[in-house]
Amino acid sequence: MAARSGESLFVTPKPVALMNRVLQIGTDKSEPEIVLDFFAGSASFAHAVMDLNSSENSKRHYICVQIPEPMEDAEVTIADIGKERIRRAAKKIADARDGKLDLEDSGALDLGFKVFKLDRSNFKIWDGAEAAASDNLGKQLEMHVNHMVEASTPEDILYELLLKSGFPLTTSIDKRQMPGGEVYAIAGGALIICLEKNITPELIDAIAEDNPLQVICLDEGFNGNDQLKANAVQTFKARAEAEEREIVFRTV
Ligand SMILES: C[S@@+](CC[C@H](N)C(=O)[O-])C[C@H]1O[C@@H](n2cnc3c(N)ncnc32)[C@H](O)[C@@H]1O
């Protein structure tokens, strides 16, 4: 897609008031409806959703999708402009509500948002064709001694595991400090994701005591200590039996 300049980019700016009306017609204010704008541009729809939620005390949600289309005259992309617009609109709405009496007991208005970018997996993919070439087998094996992509952040890995475990991106995630390390409790603790690089028996015990349904740990967290991993399997098994249910334990 060709880059566009700031001047010609927003040739058809949509008034937020008009978008509000569209939202009022198309969505039910008493339901937590989700509005999807697949070509979000400068995020005027997100702005309108927040605006309407504020004036109607509704809980509509929005999903904006935007490619990082570059602009001609600036370093930023259209997606950057959309994100900044959401931040500023949220601040303006929050400021305007500040100090007003909440006569309708509307509760806190959710003006937060998360940004996700499509990316490759954080786990290296075994390349069979590459490995088949005799010179490259050693290189492929070496690459997979640690099969995580080096540049991956804990957040990258966390969200990939979350999605692969069947949870949506909107699932609640709490960081929990436990003896021996930190874990992420997904959906109130149904799934525990542990990204610690030095897993200890104390940490495994603490996770088991939390009674999760699923536990995912990094394989590298066991540092090649098979006994520690085997003990972890036994710890979760014993806990599951005591609680008369199953705990699915996986390493990645
Ligand atoms: C006019 S803007 C959208 C305006 C916005 N929906 C609003 O309400 O103000 C359209 C956006 O869609 C994106 N877009 C257009 N065609 C696309 C395509 N084929 N694939 C992905 N994105 C596209 C462009 O980056 C552009 O920023």
Q: What is the pLDDT of residues 63-91, one digit of tens each?
A: 999 999 998 888 999 999 999 999 999 99
Q: What is the pLDDT of residues 207-244, one digit of tens each?
A: 999 999 999 999 999 999 999 999 999 999 999 999 99
State the CB neighbour count (10 A cutoff) for residue 236: 20
Which protein residue has the closest C-alpha to ligand 1 atom 7? 44
Q: Is the CB of 35 under 6 A from ligand 1?
A: no
Query: What pTM, to 2 d.p., does this model score?
Result: 0.79
Residues 184, 190, 193, CA angle at the centre, nearest 5°? 30
Which protein residue has the closest C-alpha to ligand 1 atom 4? 41
Please give the number of the atom of ligand 1 that sits closest to the Cα of 12: 1
Residue type at position 200: T
Q: What is the pLDDT of residues 167-213, one digit of tens each?
A: 999 999 999 999 999 999 999 999 999 999 999 999 999 999 999 99
Q: Is the CB of 80 under 6 A from ligand 1?
A: no
Burial class (CB in 10 A: 0-12, 13-18, 19+), 199: buried
Q: What is the pLDDT of residues 39-54, one digit of tens each?
A: 999 999 999 999 999 9
